[in-house]
Structure 1
C-alpha cells in the first residue's frame, strides 16, 4: 500500500517519508560540506599573517568579518525566497544558488596573492547561499500535506541529519588539506563538495514530483522590468554610498562590519512591520500567528548569537587553550568543529521520535525556551573551562562537553523553527518566510561577531558568563509567555472571558 512505512521504491515513499526527502537530504549534505568546510578555516585564514598565506587581520576583526559573512549568507535568504516566489520557483532557485556557491569556492581556491579573489569568492558564496538555503527548506515542507505537523517535524529532523553529516566531515577534511598554509587547497575541496551536490540534485530531481517548479506568485512582464530597474538602482546607491564613505577616509573593515550589523538588525524589523502593517490579504488568524512568530524569531536570534561563536571564539579557544588530542591522537583545532554535528547525528533520531510522541502537548514556545536554556548552560560550562585554562592547557573534552549541551538546545530549536515557520507562514509569503527564519541566524551571527570585541575589556570567563545570563533570562521570559503564544498560534483556544460563558 502507498505510504506504508518501509515501502518499496515504486510507491514513492521511504520509511513513511516522500522519496524527494532523499534528494533534498543529499543536496543539503554536500552544500553544507562546502559551507562548513570553509567556515572551519575562515577565521584562521583571515587571522594568519601574510607569511602564513593569510590576510593578517587582528582576531577581533577576523571574528567580526566571519560574523557578518554568516549574517549576509542568511540575510540574502530573504530576497532569495522572494526570487523563488516571484521569478524562478524554489527548484530552479536551488540549482542557480548551488552553481553560484561553487563558483565562489573556485575563486577562493585560485592561488593568487592579494585578497581580491577572496572577497569576490565570499560575495558569490553569500549570494548563492541566499538563493539555495531558504528554498530547499521550503521544498522539504511542501513534500508533506498540510496538517501533518508531527510527520513534517520528523522530516525536518531527517533533513537536519543531512546538514550535519556534511558539517561533520567537512572540518576534518578541509582543515587537514589546508594545514601549513595550504588554504587554497582547502577552499578547492569545498568547491568539489558543492559540485557533487549539484550533480546529485539534477539526477534526483524526478523524485520531487513537481515540488517547487512553479513560482507561487509569478511576476508579470511589467513587474519584472520594474524589479530589474529597482535592483540596478539599489546596487548603484550601495556602490555610491561605499565610494563616498571611502573618500572620507573613515572606511575600514571594522566600521564596515558594524554598519552591516546595524543593517542586519533593521532588515527583520522593517520586514515584520511590512507584513503586519500592510494588508496583503492576510486573515486575522495569519496576523495572530505572525505576532507569535516574532517572539520565536527573537529567541532564535539570541540562540544563534551564542551558538555561532563556534567557528571564531571557540575555534580560537581550541587552538590556544586546549590540548588538541583525542584518545592520544593529535587533531587540528578546526576539527573540534566536527564535535557538534557528530553529536547531532547521534541524537537527531531520538528527538525526531520525541516530537512525534509528544505531539501537540509541548508547543514551539516551550521547545524554544528549552533550547535557550541549554545554550546558556553551555556557556556556563565554557566559563568554567576558560577559568581553568588561564593557568594551563585543558583537555579538549571540555569543548566536547560544551557542544554536547548545545546539541540538546539546537535540536529543540532549529528543526522545530523550520517546521513552525512553514506552519505559521501566511500563504502569500511562504517561501519568503523561510527567508525570514534565516534572518534570525543573520541577526545572531552579526551581533555575536561584534560581542567578541568585549574580550578586550573583560576576561574570557566573564565574557562567557555574561552571554550565558542573557540566554537563560530570555528562556525564562519565553517560558512565562508560552501559553499566550500557543493561543496566538492557534494551538490552544483562549480562556472564556469572565461573565460571558461560552462563545
Structure 2
C-alpha cells in the first residue's frame, strides 16, 4: 500500500483503495465456497452413523453437479436484480449475508438433510446476488479511459479468488476431518462473516460505486415483478409437492430433470437471438453461429474439469495413499492443487498469449484447452487401472490437476475475451452471462456422467470422457479456419480491438 501525498487518498498497490475492500470480500466468499465444495461430496456419501447423509457416490455427484450448475445460472437474475432493484452495493451485502446464513444452516448439528437442503438453497441465492456484482463494482472503480489500470486491477482481484480457493480446502478439510462435518461448515460461515465485516468497514472506500440501480424499476414494473416471482414460486412449489406426493420423486430423477432444464436454457437463448427480429447484421449473425461451437466446446471442457469436487475427490479418498512429502493430508486437501498451480502459471500463460499474438486463433486455443483436458483423464484412466491393485500415490492426482490447469488457462480467459468480441451489440451484457451458462451446462451434464458407470469400469469411464473431449477438440481444430472466418475478424476490426 502506498500514499502519494496528504491530499490524495491512500491506494492499494497503486489502485483505488476500494479494490482492497472488494479483494477481501471476494477472498472470504471464495474461501466459504471452496471450503464447502471440498467436503460436500464426502459428507453426502458418508454414513449417517458418522454424521453424513448416506447417499451413494453417484447420487452425490448428480446433486453437486446441479448445485454447481445453479450457482452459475443464478448469476443472470442476480445481475438483473442489482441493475433494476438493489444496486450492486446492496446486492453484494445481502448476497453475502444470505450465503453466511446458508453455511450456518448446514453447520446445525442435526441429523437429516433438511438444514443441508435449506443451506444449499440459501448459498445458491446469495451467490447469485454477490458473485456477478462484486466484479461489476471492481470495474466501476476506474474511469472509462483507464483500460490499462482496470485490467491490472482485475488481475489483482483474480488473485483473491485463488488465495481463497487454495487456503479453504486446507483449513476446512482439516477441521472437518474425523467426521467433524459441521465444524467444517461452520468455518465456511465464519469465512463469509469475516468477508461481510471487511466489506462493511471498508465501504467508505468504494466512493459511492454501486449505490444505486443503473436502471431502477418503476412502481408499475416492481408490482409486475413481485407478482411474477410469487406465481413462479407457487408453480414450482406446487409442481414439486405433486411430484413428491405421487411417490415417484427421487434425488436422481430430480437431478436429471434439472439437467434437461439447464441444457434447454442456452438452446432456447441461441434460438431467440438468431431467429428473433433483433436487426442483427450479417456479420453479427455469423459471429453468433461461430460462438455456438465454442460454447459447446466450453461446456464439454467444464463437464470434465468440474468433476474435481466429486469424482476426483472420491478417487482421492478411496484409491490413493494420502501422503505428500511424508505428511498425511485429507481428501479435501487435493482440492487445493488446482488454485496452487493457477497462481503459478497465470503470468506464464499471459506472457505466452502476448508473444503469440494473432498467430493462434480463439478456436485453436479452445481446441488446445479441450485436448489437454482430455489428456488429463487419459492419465486418470491409467491411475484408475493401477488403483485396481491397491491404493496408488496421490502424486497421480497432482499430475492430473497440473495438466488440467494448462487446459484451463488455454480456454477459460480466452472464453471471456471472445464472448465480448463476438456478442452482437444488442446482446453485449447478456452474452457475458451466457458464457457462464457454459459452466452451468458442463456441471449439470458432468453430474449425470455417473450413469456411464452402470455399464463400464472406472478406467473405462475416465477413458470415455477423455475420448469425448479429445474427439471434440480434434473436430474443433479441423474447423478452426472456418470458424475463424465466421467470426468475421476483419483487419480493420483487429486494428481497433488489439491492445
Matched residues in 2 for 1:64 and 1:15: separation?
43
Matched residues in 2 for 1:491 and 1:189: separation?
49
Aligned to 1:273: 271
Aligned to 2:198: 200
- Quote the offset at 1:15 in angstroms: 5.8
Report if the CA contact (8 A) 1:108-1:121 is conserved.
Answer: yes
- Quote the offset at 1:88 in angstroms: 2.4
SS of equivalent to 1:319: helix
- Quote the offset at 1:132 in angstroms: 1.8
Report if the CA contact (8 A) 1:40-1:171 is conserved.
Answer: yes
Aligned to 2:117: 119
Cα RMSD of the aligned pairs, angstroms, is: 2.9
Matched residues in 1 for 2:390 and 2:439: separation?
34
Q: 1:237 aligns with which of 235, 238, 260?
A: 235
Aligned to 1:500: none
User: Cα distance 1:159–1:355, how it changes in 2: closer, same or farther (>3 A)?
Assistant: farther
Matched residues in 1 for 2:476 and 2:147: separation?
22
Aligned to 1:310: 308
Aligned to 2:94: 96
Aligned to 1:28: 26
Report if the CA contact (8 A) 2:383-2:396 is conserved.
Answer: yes
SS of equivalent to 2:118: helix
Matched residues in 2 for 1:489 and 1:197: separation?
41
Report if the CA contact (8 A) 1:28-1:197 is conserved.
Answer: yes
Matched residues in 1 for 2:88 and 2:284: separation?
23
- Quote the offset at 1:21 in angstroms: 4.2
* Gap runs ≥5 in structure 2: 494-499
The TM-score, its normalising length taken from structure 2, stands at 0.89
* Gap runs ≥5 in structure 1: 1-5, 496-503
Q: 2:171 aligns with which of 170, 173, 176?
A: 173
In the alignment of these two chains, the number of paired residues is 491
- Quote the offset at 1:217 in angstroms: 3.5
User: Cα distance 1:423–1:211, how it changes in 2: closer, same or farther (>3 A)?
Assistant: farther
Matched residues in 1 for 2:224 and 2:492: separation?
45
- Quote the offset at 1:453 in angstroms: 2.4
The CA deviation string for residues 443-499 of structure 1, in whole angstroms up to 9 with x for no partner, is 11111111022123211111111111111222223333434444554533599xxxx
The TM-score, its normalising length taken from structure 1, stands at 0.89
Aligned to 1:364: 362
User: Cα distance 1:331–1:72, how it changes in 2: closer, same or farther (>3 A)?
Assistant: same
Q: How does 1:472-491 map to 2 (within 5 A)?
A: 472-489=470-487, 491=489
Matched residues in 2 for 1:318 and 1:41: separation?
12
- Quote the offset at 1:437 in angstroms: 2.1
Q: How does 1:79-478 map to 2 (within 5 A)?
A: 79-142=77-140, 156-279=154-277, 287-425=285-423, 429=427, 431-478=429-476
User: Cα distance 1:372–1:279, how it changes in 2: closer, same or farther (>3 A)?
Assistant: same
Matched residues in 2 for 1:149 and 1:383: separation?
44
Matched residues in 2 for 1:294 and 1:17: separation?
37
Q: 1:76 aligns with which of 48, 54, 74?
A: 74
The CA deviation string for residues 225-261 of structure 1, in whole angstroms up to 9 with x for no partner, is 1111111111111111111111211111111111111
SS of equivalent to 2:128: helix
- Quote the offset at 1:28 in angstroms: 1.8
Aligned to 1:60: 58
